[in-house]
Structure 1
Amino acid sequence: MHDTIDSAIKEFILRQKMFFVATAPLAAEGRVNLSPKGLDSLRVLGPRTVAYADLVGSGVETIAHLKENGRIVLMFCAFDGAPKIVRLHGRGESVEPGHADFEPLRREMPDLPGLRSIIRVECDRISDSCGFGVPLYEFIGDRSQLTAYAEKKGPEGLRQYQLDHNAESLDGLPGVELAKP
Structure 2
Amino acid sequence: MRLLVASNNAKKTLELERILADAGINGLEVLPLASVPEYPEPVEDGRTFADNALIKARAGAAHSGLPTVADDSGLVVEELGGMPGVLSARWSGTHGDDAANNRLLLAQMAHVPDSRRAASFVSVCALVTPDGQEFVTEGRWEGTLLREPAGEGGFGYDPLFQPEGEARSSAQMSPAEKNAVSHRGRALAQLVPHLAQLVR
TM bin, normalised by shorter chain, reads 0.3 to 0.5
Richer in strand (by share): 1
Instruction: Give TM-score scaled by structure 2 length.
Output: 0.31
- Bigger RCO of structures 1 and 2 (CA < 8 A, at least 6 apart): 1
Richer in helix (by share): 2
